[in-house]
Structure 1
Amino acid sequence: MELELKDYFRIVMKRIKLILWLVVVAAIITAIFSYWFMKPVYESSTKLIVNNSQDMTRALDINSVNLDIRLVDTYKQIIKTAAITDKVAEQNPQLGLTGEQINSMISVSSVSNTQVLTISARNSDYPTTVAVVNEVAKVFVEEIPNIMTVNNVSILNEAKQVENPSPVAPNPIMNIALSIIVALLLGIGLALLLEYLDDTIKDEQDVLQYVDLPVLMSIPSVTEEDLKIGKQSAAKVRTEVGRNVTVSK
């Protein structure tokens, strides 16, 4: 059986209470976890510049610049190696972090066709993120001459600690919005599934659609209010009949 758009709308409206219940519960649970249980995550970053020319008064050599740009991708990989992160952990025992932990905290990025590298760190402890990115940048600048036999990297700017940092995660509003969308889709899917599994005949339209037989009689549903009205009407009829009998006598 092919369903039309109005049929889908009817199914959704039929289960609208279930769908709304799922949406409300999902939003409440997500809000509780986002605001009270999820730790805030902070991010700090520092920038490095790859510049092979040590004499800044000289005109830029386009070949040298192109070489530096190509080296950026190589340096992005080197920064994430144990040669750098293990040394950072060794030189900074006060951080209480291993090389692997530092590696998992940091990320390295660059803008295409530029000589600038950005080292970022994320952690629930804000001062730790500042210290980690600055130390990784420092160690990398110190070690790159030994690794690549060139000294062409310098720190463009260090990460600085601010008084009231804003966390980059979690984003409660975004989390709640996503949970509402997911719950809404699940609710609609569940409504369609329940309708598919329900094979009972509910009205004359179902008889015509599924059995293909003519409807001889339809019995409407009766509510308690209808029963009260019926009893009142019956009592009124009995009263009128009694009056007529009395008058006849």
Structure 2
Amino acid sequence: MEETISLRELFQVLRKRLWLIVLIAIIAATVSAVISFFILTPVYESKTQILVNQAKSDEQLYYNTQTVQTNVQLINTYNDIIKSPAILDKVIKELKLDGTAKSLSSQIQVTNAQDSQVAQIVVKDTSAKRATEIANTTASVFKKEVPKIMNVDNVSVLSKATLVESASPVKPQPLLNIAIAVVVGLMVGVGLSFLLEYLDNTLKTEQDIENLLELPVMGVITTIKDVPKATNIQRPDLTARVPQRGETLGS
């Protein structure tokens, strides 16, 4: 027998277990809020920009397209140099940081737009002040060391990272986490509701019997409640004398 479920039945299932769906969504949102506000450590972000550009000589009055393209291609190499121990070991020593160049490298991201001579050094740390110091020191050390490594002096610091007093962490984002938790909670609640409905094989209505037996229901026996005992009914006097033959009642 092929079973079909109408859209109305689906809504009835959701309506019947709406309390379960809402409860799971509330629990998920609460757990997410507690983790975001009280457990996860805030992470701050700081950025600085460097410009890769060969200084113009007195004889060079305009920029050569080939020179610009060469500088753009050098940025990819510089990205690797910035995150190398040759630079980060000096940053750690200068700032007296705990950890290794490898751990510091995981906090640093170097990006640049396509065909751009500007590279951006992004540093993430649990301290906003320390993130700013690492970003500025990394740019400064790289500018100082790149002529020794590449035999070319074409790097300048375009903008330094600044420390904002009311800096907001980039993660965690409590509101976003709570919103995601609510959506996930609703999905889990809906899925669990349909699973419970699928596993429930009890017969509850006349329609369930008709669907199972494919026979019409001829009658229904309703639930009979107990009749309350009467308290004011006068019982007959069982001790009254039975009249003898020839006697009349009342004599």
Partner of 2:204: 202
Partner of 2:69: 66
Once residues 33 and 219 of structure 1 are traced to their aligned partners in structure 2, the CA distance between those partners, rounded to angstroms, is 54
Query: Which moves more between the two structures, 112-121 or 30-39?
Result: 30-39
Query: Which moves more between the two structures, 40-49 or 196-205?
Result: 196-205
Deviations 1:69-100 (A, max 9, x none): 1222222222222222223223332x333212
Q: Secondary structure at the match of 2:45?
A: strand
Q: Supply the AA of the counterpart residue of 1:85.
A: L
Tell me by how many angstroms 1:20 deviates: 0.7
Once residues 178 and 222 of structure 2 are traced to their aligned partners in structure 1, the CA distance between those partners, rounded to angstroms, is 43
Once residues 76 and 4 of structure 2 are traced to their aligned partners in structure 1, the CA distance between those partners, rounded to angstroms, is 55
The RMSD of aligned alpha carbons is 2.5
Is 1:44 matched up with 2:50?
Answer: no
Query: Which moves more between the two structures, 71-80 or 110-119?
Result: 71-80
Give the direction of change, closer, same or farther, for the CA distance of 1:218–1:68 in structure 2 (3 Å limit). farther
TM-score w.r.t. the length of structure 2 is 0.82
Give the direction of change, closer, same or farther, for the CA distance of 1:89–1:54 in structure 2 (3 Å limit). farther
Once residues 89 and 212 of structure 2 are traced to their aligned partners in structure 1, the CA distance between those partners, rounded to angstroms, is 72
Alignment counterpart, residue 141 of structure 2, candidates 116, 119, 139: 139
Once residues 179 and 223 of structure 2 are traced to their aligned partners in structure 1, the CA distance between those partners, rounded to angstroms, is 41
Tell me by how many angstroms 1:163 deviates: 2.2
Query: Which moves more between the two structures, 116-125 or 212-221?
Result: 212-221
Give the direction of change, closer, same or farther, for the CA distance of 1:171–1:127 in structure 2 (3 Å limit). same
Q: Supply the AA of the counterpart residue of 2:13.
A: I
Q: Secondary structure at the match of 2:115?
A: coil
Is 1:34 matched up with 2:36?
Answer: yes
Q: Supply the AA of the counterpart residue of 1:86.
A: D
Alignment counterpart, residue 91 of structure 1, candidates 94, 104, 114: 94
Give the count of matched residue pairs: 230
Once residues 161 and 184 of structure 1 are traced to their aligned partners in structure 2, the CA distance between those partners, rounded to angstroms, is 40
Superposed, 1:161-176 pairs within 5 Å as 161-176=163-178
Q: Supply the AA of the counterpart residue of 2:73.
A: R
Give the direction of change, closer, same or farther, for the CA distance of 1:163–1:231 in structure 2 (3 Å limit). same
> Any stretches of 5+ residues in structure 1 without a counterpart?
240-249
Once residues 221 and 54 of structure 1 are traced to their aligned partners in structure 2, the CA distance between those partners, rounded to angstroms, is 99
Q: Supply the AA of the counterpart residue of 1:187.
A: G
Give the direction of change, closer, same or farther, for the CA distance of 1:80–1:213 in structure 2 (3 Å limit). farther
Once residues 219 and 83 of structure 1 are traced to their aligned partners in structure 2, the CA distance between those partners, rounded to angstroms, is 89
Alignment counterpart, residue 11 of structure 2, candidates 9, 27, 43: 9
> Any stretches of 5+ residues in structure 2 without a counterpart?
234-251
Superposed, 1:214-233 pairs within 5 Å as 214-219=216-221, 227=225, 231=227
Tell me by how many angstroms 1:220 deviates: 5.1
Give the direction of change, closer, same or farther, for the CA distance of 1:148–1:218 in structure 2 (3 Å limit). farther
Contact 1:87 1:99 (8 Å CA) reproduced: no
TM-score w.r.t. the length of structure 1 is 0.83
Contact 1:34 1:171 (8 Å CA) reproduced: yes
Once residues 146 and 211 of structure 1 are traced to their aligned partners in structure 2, the CA distance between those partners, rounded to angstroms, is 89
Q: Supply the AA of the counterpart residue of 2:200.
A: D
Is 1:79 matched up with 2:78?
Answer: no
Q: Secondary structure at the match of 1:108?
A: strand
Is 1:108 matched up with 2:124?
Answer: no
Q: Supply the AA of the counterpart residue of 2:80.
A: Q
Partner of 1:242: none
